[in-house]
Amino acid sequence: MTTEHYDVIIIGTGAGGGTLAHKLAPSGKRILLLERGGYLPREPENWDSREVFINDRYLSGEVWYDQDGDAFRPHQQYFVGGNTKFYGAVLFRLRERDFGEVRHYGGLSPAWPISYQDLEPYYAAAEQLYLVHGQAGEDPTEPPRSGPFPYPQVSHEPRIQQLSDDFEKTGHRPFHLPVGVDLNESDPEAGRCVRCDRFDGFPCLTDGKADAHVRCVRPALRHDNVTLVTHAKAERLVTDGRGRSVTEVVVDRRGARETYSGDIVVVSCGAVNSAALLLKSANDQHPNGLANASDVVGRHYMAHINSGVIAISQTPNPTKFQKTLGINDYYWGAADSELPLGHIQMLGKSDRNILRGGAPWFAPGLALDYIAKHAIDFWITTEDLPHPANRVTVDRRGRIHLAKTYHNLEPHQRLLAKLKELMGGLGCHDAAIPAWSILDQRIPLAGVAHQSGTVRFGDDPKTSALNVDCRAHDVDNLYVVDTSFFPSSSAVNPALTAMANALRVGDHLLERLGAHVTAASRAASDGRLQEVDR
Ligand SMILES: Cc1cc2nc3c(=O)[nH]c(=O)nc-3n(C[C@H](O)[C@H](O)[C@H](O)COP(=O)(O)OP(=O)(O)OC[C@H]3O[C@@H](n4cnc5c(N)ncnc54)[C@H](O)[C@@H]3O)c2cc1C
Ligand code: SF4
């Protein structure tokens, strides 16, 4: 068996890996992308809520185990583009203060080894790459920006505009969510998005959602020096005798063993799978798992404390594209709370199947159609804190175990109470079902959409697995660029930070490889790709 050699191997094609591939593609270096999934089929079922939410058509079907050893099916999907194929594309920058130490009800959120200013230019570039639409200056917690959003905000539909006006009347500062979407409201012919109600949790049939496959992997593959191998699950990383460098990536490709080697190996499998891969790669030089002299690999698993909240309004809600409004007035606290509570945003519009998919949330017999027609759907997020006992481990049979106890629940309860109070004041009751005027459900362990933190970066090799460049402290040619590098989770959605960081690490790798991507070659490449893309 021969081992193919590349300059760079990137394992995983989601927000981190896909973005890095796009950054490195014009360098001319030989780049290999390994992806355990295939291409997500484009089919009518992409937009069928029964298929997506009840029949779990696109879930991996794999089984993980909780801290009591009970099996559960994680909401994981493995396709080219990773979880961004399904994401809501709300693309936030972390707040400036999120990069420092922050005190919460449940303990301390640690500081990052880089500042907001270090990442700002990369946030700007990632917003450009992922077509982020927004309106600077509205969000009261927005960090300083070097320029406006690359595209204008996505407008509210009438019911959401009314909600926004109502929030303003109560002294809140609602803002347009930053959304990554190929939409041009002044010229509908110019964008792929048809502004439908299948956005959050569904793949997009028209390629209108700015996901890592459409925006990064597909254009990267138009470069002859970039290769993608699908259905290639990285099983193990092998090192040289001293354990200082990865020499081989061992892959299971539809049951067959293949090996690849690269001068640089970048792991970007998502926070749970990246930790699992490093742990499974233990050897004599790395007995606790690869790059794990610190014993932090797998630890500090964070997932955000999230709840879906349905407010049932007296007025019907015919909104299609609902993910346009956010509230950050409670992000850092409230009149009755010195400590942070979190973030509120709209969810994609629910229908009866989406609501039923949330069972046992709903008692049987409730009029789901009625509720769906009147529902205004929210998603609330509180910062999850990194705790060493919350961790990914792998057993002797290679099975993934996920231990998780939440330590910051009080602010989440307070935030929920704030939203309920607000919605009650805005006429969101219904005489026929008074007890159900506001329904909420915490996202369970299986909801791993916002996973992060398991291979944290930092200055100190004793307390972090990666250095500031996201290179393993212990292994010279090994990098990690998915959300596992996060030392803290903030309370805003994670993907843009993974994308921006991948661009930052990309600059470091280009320098290390002695590769030059001049502004001109990047612009020429991007121009050519956009032409082909449309
Ligand atoms: C329904 C949903 C809605 C979301 N909405 C938002 C949102 O609005 N805004 C936001 O910021 N975030 C959102 N997220 C989260 C966002 O999608 C993730 O934060 C982001 O995709 C993480 O990027 P990543 O690179 O860490 O991992 P992923 O994007 O998950 O990429 C990991 C990749 O690695 C591959 N892989 C895994 N293991 C292996 C292996 N052993 N070998 C080879 N390949 C492997 C996977 O198939 C995948 O392609 C949402 C997620 C979901 C599921
Ligand atoms: S709203 Fe636009 S981007 Fe989202 S799924 Fe519909 S067409 Fe695609």
The 3-state secondary structure of 378-441 reads EEEEECCCCCCCCEEEECCCCCEEEECCCCCHHHHHHHHHHHHHHHHHCCCCCCCCHHHCEEEE
Distance CA 443, CA 420 (A): 18
Q: Which tokens sit at 349?
A: 């519009």
Rounded Cα distance between 287 and 291, Å, is: 10
Give the pair of three-digit tokens for residue 197: 């109600």
Distance (Å) of CA 303 to CA 23, 273, 381, 490: 27, 14, 10, 10
Residue 404: its pLDDT value, please?
96
In the reported structure, the alpha carbon of residue 186 is separated from the centroid of ligand 1 by a whole-number distance in angstroms of 31
Is pLDDT of 38 > 70? yes
Of all ligands present, the nearest one to the C-alpha of 52 is 1
- When pLDDT is averaged across residues 137-144 and rounded to a whole number, the result is 98
Ligand 1 center from residue 321 Cα (angstroms)? 22
Residues within 6 Å of ligand 2 by CB: 181, 193-196, 198-199, 202, 204, 206, 208-209, 321
Nearest residue to 415 (alpha-carbon basis) of 377, 383, 370: 383
Per the omega criterion (within 30 degrees of 0), is the bond before 360 cis?
A: yes
CA of 347 to the centre of ligand 1 (A): 18
181 Cα to the center of ligand 2, angstroms = 8
Tell me: pLDDT of 308 over 70: yes
CB neighbourhood size of 360 (10 A): 7
pLDDT at 311: 85
pLDDT at 200 over 90: no
Helix (H, G, I), strand (E, B) or coil at 216: helix
Alpha helices in 326-379 (DSSP H): 352-357, 368-374
Please tell me the distance from the alpha carbon of residue 410 to that of residue 21, in angstroms, as a whole number: 40
Residue 158 sits at φ, ψ, to 5 deg, of -50, -45
SS3 label, residue 519: helix
Give the 3-state secondary structure of residue 10: strand
Residue range 219-277, pLDDT digits in tens: 999 999 999 999 999 999 999 999 999 999 999 999 999 999 999 999 999 999 999 99
Minimal-distance CA residue to ligand 1 atom 9: 90
Q: How confident is the model at residue 459 (pLDDT cuts 50, 70, 90)?
A: very high
More confident residue, 350 or 306: 306
Q: 282-310 burial string, b = 16+ CB within 10 Å, else e?
A: beeebeebbbbbbebbbbbbbbbbbbbbb
- CA–CA distance, 494 with 452 (Å, rounded to integer): 8
pLDDT digits (tens, 9 = 90+) for 272-306: 999 999 999 999 999 999 999 999 999 999 999 99
CA–CA dist 332, 343 (Å, integer)? 9
Closest-lying ligand 1 atom to the alpha carbon of residue 274 = 38
Q: 163 near 14, Cβ under 8 Å?
A: no
Confirm if 174 and 164 have CB atoms less than 8 A apart.
yes
Q: Which atom of ligand 2 is nearest to the CA of 183?
A: 2
Measured CA to CA, the distance from residue 300 to residue 108 in angstroms comes to 13
Helix 116-129 crosses helix 495-512 at what angle (to 10 degrees)?
Answer: 100
Residue 343 near ligand 1, beta carbon < 6 Å: no
Structure pTM? Answer: 0.95
Host H or E run for residue 20: helix 15-24
CA dist 261 and 4 (Å) reads 6
pLDDT at 215 over 60: yes
Residues written for the chain = 534
d(CA 82, CA 13): 6
Q: Cα–Cα distance between 240 and 111 in angstroms, integer? A: 34
Report how far ligand 1's centroid is from the alpha carbon of 462 (Å): 28
H or E element that contains 117: helix 116-129
| Residue 359 in this model has a pLDDT that exceeds 60 | no
Q: Which of 84, 181, 204 to mutate to test the pocket of ligand 1 (most atoms within 8 A of CB)?
A: 84
Q: Give me the pLDDT at residue 318, please.
A: 92
Which atom in ligand 1 lies closest to the alpha carbon of residue 277? 41
Rounded to 10°, the helix 15-24/495-512 angle is 40
Ligand 2 mean position, distance from CA 182 (Å): 8
Give the C-alpha separation, 361 to 439, whole Å.
8
On the question of pLDDT at 431 being above 70, the answer is no
Which residue's C-alpha comes closest to atom 6 of ligand 2?
A: 196
Q: What is the mean pLDDT of residues 19-43?
A: 97
Q: Which residues are bridge partners to 71 per DSSP?
A: 65
Backbone angles phi, psi at 82, to 5 degrees: 60, -150
Cβ–ligand 1 distance for 106 under 6 Å, the answer no
